[in-house]
Amino acid sequence: MGLKILTEHIDKPGIETFEVYRKHGGYTAVEKALKKMAPDEVVEEVKKSGVRGRGGAGFPMGMKWSFLAKPEGVPRYLVCNGDESEPGTFKDHFLMKTIPHLLIEGMIVSSYALGAHKSFIYVRGELMYVIRILEKAIAEAKAAGFLGKNILGTGYDLELVVQPGGGAYICGEETALLESLEGKRGNPRNKPPFPAVKGLYESPTVVNNVESIANTPWIVNNGGDAYAAIGIGRSTGTKLISASGNVKNPGVYEIVLGVPVEEFIYSDEYLGGIRDGHYLKAVVAGGSSVPILPAHLILKTANGENRLMSYESLSDGGFATGTMLGSGGFIVMDETVSVVRNTWNFSRFYHHESCGQCSPCREGTGWMEKVLERIVHGHGNERDIDLLVDVAKRIEGNTICPLGDAAAWPVGSAIRHFRDEFEWYVRHPEEATKKGAVYMPQNVLV
Amino acid sequence: MDAPQLIKVTIDGREVHVPPGTTILEAARQIGPEVAPPAMCYYKPLKGSGGKCRACLVKVTQGSEKDPRPMPKLVASCITGAQDGMVVENYTNPEVVNARNGVVEFLLINHPLDCPVCDQAGECHLQDFAYENGLATTRYEEERRTFDREDIGDKIQLHMNRCILCYRCVYTANQITDRRVHGVMYRGDHSEISTYIHQAIDNDFSGNVIDVCPVGALTDKTYRFKSRVWFSKPVDAHRDCDKCCGKVNLWYKGDEVIRVTARKNQWGEVEDFICNTCRFDKKQTADWVIEGPTKVSRASVISANKYGKNVIKKTGFGLEYAAHHYKPIDDTRPYDKNLKEIKQSEDYKALMEKNEAFFSKK
Ligand SMILES: Cc1cc2nc3c(=O)[nH]c(=O)nc-3n(C[C@H](O)[C@H](O)[C@H](O)COP(=O)(O)O)c2cc1C
Ligand code: SF4
Ligand code: FES
């Protein structure tokens, strides 16, 4: 088993309590940071670590922190993004419910580094039980003197607030999240200004994913250089992957970045391979938004190199033959899965979740869904396939927030790599819509 | 104090000098309507408006003098600040034309296209926008989403089917009326403009939501079906009003004032909002001091009683228009792709002649 940064103590009974967490070295990072380090030193370590945002975009966390504006007399905020609603992604949920103190410790260290005195954890609204777990953990940490006024006698104050989300995927987009946190409708804002300059209540704000923040205690304890030594290239550290689909062992895995995709899918240490008697057909590697890849392209890049679980390797080949690590929602499909139906399903999601501000996304997501629905039910025609490509292209890049792109990519990539299957649906609708019908592209199964 | 240093922006090859902080769209407007990007949601007098419809997308081919890199994506010109030395392509960039074409298509797929019975027809920004930037055909075969019509108050009707969710009325209700009961409910293409739990807007300035609406979604019930816009003539008039500026347009049909609206500038923006008394209750000539006929652009539908060919900006529009009028639709014809080739064909020349004939006849 590889090195574990986040999940090392996950199996310890009672790890969700302050006592057990503390016994396993918990909150030492708070002690170290607050007592021995200046806030800027913490920022420096995070920068050195090279850790990249785990929420999807993979933006270097230290760099984001150093962009935070610091005008005099204006509060700064840290907001943790725990909205996790991307289909196929369930790692933050897992982390928050099993080891809540890790996130809280990370929030304290990070807030200290950024000079925030009031920080928020915005948790997906459906996860009320997780919110209760977090609130209980916060109360414990407060009772132990790690939160509140004058933490550990260092003079640093921090209040931590858990906010139930607005019940929409779009509230995971950072500026929509801030609107929602302010008590408004969760519509993404136009950027610039970016949150680092004008975020929550018009004050400089950093928004980071749960997993990103959970990495900070380890970085403080062991140093940024030690973190940077883990992983491969600019993909440093470990990553939580939430694997689902037709594999033997679905679940949440912490992997060292750089593990070959083939090993991740087939080794017993991880997913254990495709369920018996079936073949790998396609993988959506980073949550529903990223391009889907057929088996041969997920295992090897177009140049024939082994594909690795890292930011760079997964995006090798651009969108023509690559994809993205995204949020780490790894969805595996065997030959019984219809890519066309699956694309329709994703489209339905984005249609449902578009906030409706910008016309390309509002109208385009609904359009794509309706066309796909027609195709799936045997009423498509050949022109529809090109129409879908064109509509997706006209949404992509032309919207306020990346949800428009996220809706366009799955459609564009599915047609790029599985066009023959779409054609099968429109040319042989009776056959394709039969219950249990499976399209067999002979050359791409592994 | 020194006057602020002006910055230089080039839009479609034409230069303009503007104060720092000016948006690309405002800079383009200073040059003139030929290069000004269309705006369906941005509304200068309303704070925070813009960025939503994406009609005003432009290509920035040079970011600034200091950092000449182009911007990777098209940007919404209404909310993007101009930089010194910035070079912008609007109507001259095929990518922009294509994206805008897409925006027209998106805005129309769920639009009822009921212009023949819509009070806004003739002064509708969506009509203008589609006419100038769209195609004459649709690829949309699905069902359109529909809503029930709704009265909000006794003077205003909401026709949600026609709404393009520009949010202008929401900002208006927010910024110029004091009790906000007006906003957007639901998400995505089910979003609805609504007054909270159907609470009627009753507020002295609520009528302004009619004027800011670019389409026929919010219409004046006292004017309902009274006339087509182009059969009425606008006149500038004012009165002493204790609530508002009292400066309005009276719309006459014969001797009768059939409608009162706020005055709008060249870009269709109201600069002085008016109160409901002036708008709904003062419909006698005797109520007003008449200043004279409103200046209406010659190219406008109101002045010409029709859309003229002089408003067509997009190359190829006439071709497609004529083709669809005079020929059975042939889907395999690559209108967009091989325009050059087509233009040289006999077929095209014949079509263009017919096209010319069609417009000169009108
Ligand atoms: C539609 C949409 C939904 C998103 N949902 C989430 C989410 O649920 N959780 C998350 O951490 N980031 C989400 N993001 C990404 C955030 O906008 C933001 O990039 C992220 O929280 C930054 O944190 P990081 O730098 O630590 O990754 C979403 C983005 C978009 C466009
Ligand atoms: S891209 Fe979609 S979700 Fe994002 S702001 Fe626009 S309409 Fe809303
Ligand atoms: S006018 Fe700029 S996006 Fe609508």
B252-278 per-position pLDDT tens digit: 999 999 999 999 999 999 989 999 999
Model-level ipTM above the cut of 0.85 = yes
Distance in angstroms (rounded) separating the CA atoms of residues B184 and A355: 11
Residues with CB under 6 A from ligand 1: A 53-57, 59, 64, 81, 83-86, 169-170, 172-174, 207-209, 212, 401-403, 406
Tell me how far the alpha carbon of residue A327 lies from the centroid of ligand 1, in angstroms.
Answer: 8
Beta strands, E only, chain B? 7-11, 14-18, 57-62, 75-76, 86-89, 150-152, 156-158, 182-185, 192-195, 218-220, 233-238, 247-253, 256-262, 289-293
DSSP state of B70: P
* Partners of residue B110 in chain A, C-beta under 8 Å: 363, 366
- What is the CB neighbour count within 10 angstroms for residue B289? 10
A160: β partners:
A119
Distance in angstroms (rounded) separating the CA atoms of residues A245 and A263: 17
Which of A362, A365, A375 to probe by mutation at the B interface, max B CB count within 10 Å? A362
Q: What percent of chain B has pLDDT over 90?
A: 65
Per-residue confidence band for B342, with pLDDT thresholds at 50, 70 and 90: low
Ligand 2 pocket: which of A178, A352, A369, A400 to mutate (most atoms within 8 A of CB)? A400
Minimal CA separation from A317 to chain B, in Å:
19
Integer CA distances (angstroms), B259 to A32, A172, B218, in order: 73, 46, 14
- Of the listed ranges A34-48, A99-113, A387-401, B283-297, the least confidently predicted one is B283-297
- B39 C-beta closer than 6 A to ligand 3: yes
A293: β partners:
A283
Task: For residue B59, give the amino acid letter.
Answer: K
pLDDT attached to residue B307: 57
Average pLDDT over residues A44-58: 96
Distance in angstroms (rounded) separating the CA atoms of residues A425 and A439: 9
* Partners of residue A185 in chain B, C-beta under 8 Å: 183-184
- Contact between residue A82 and residue A100 where contact means Cβ atoms under 8 Å apart: no
Q: Is the pLDDT of residue A444 over 60?
A: no
Averaged pLDDT of chain A: 95
Q: Which secondary-structure segment (H or E) carries A239?
A: strand A238-245
Task: Pick A433 or B198 by higher pLDDT.
Answer: A433
Q: Is the pLDDT of residue B343 over 80?
A: no
**What is the residue with the minimal CA distance to atom 18 of ligand 1?**
A174
> From B188, which residue of chain A is nearest by alpha-carbon distance?
A356
Residues with CB under 6 A from ligand 2: A 170, 188, 354-358, 361-362, 399-401, 403-404
| B127-145 as b/e: b if 16+ CB within 10 A | bbbbbbbbbeeebbeeeee
Residue A209: nearest ligand to its CA? 1
Which residues, including other chains, have CB under 8 Å from residue B356's CB and lie 6 or more apart?
Answer: none
* Partners of residue B76 in chain A, C-beta under 8 Å: 190
* Partners of residue B165 in chain A, C-beta under 8 Å: 356-357, 359, 362
Q: What angle in degrees, to the nearest 10, is found between the helix axes of A403-427 and A382-395?
A: 170
Distance in angstroms (rounded) separating the CA atoms of residues A54 and B278: 57
Contact between chains at B191 and A366 (C-beta distance less than 8 A) = no
Please write the tens of the pLDDT for every residue from A251-305: 999 999 999 999 999 999 999 999 998 999 999 999 999 999 999 999 999 999 9
* Partners of residue A358 in chain B, C-beta under 8 Å: 51-54
Task: For residue B222, give the amino acid letter.
Answer: T
Token pair, residue A160, equals: 């931590």
Comparing CA positions, the residue from B61, B91, B49, B58 lying closest to residue B76 is B58
Nearest to B184 among A170, A185, A354 (CB): A185
Average pLDDT over residues A396-410: 97
Integer CA distances (angstroms), B82 to A198, B24, B46, B93, in order: 20, 5, 20, 18
> From A169, which residue of chain B is nearest by alpha-carbon distance?
B187
**Ordered domains of chain B (ranges, CATH):** 7-106 (3.10.20.740), 118-124+135-225 (3.30.70.20), 227-322 (no CATH)
Contact between chains at B142 and A365 (C-beta distance less than 8 A) = no
Tell me how far the alpha carbon of residue A207 lies from the centroid of ligand 2, in angstroms.
Answer: 19
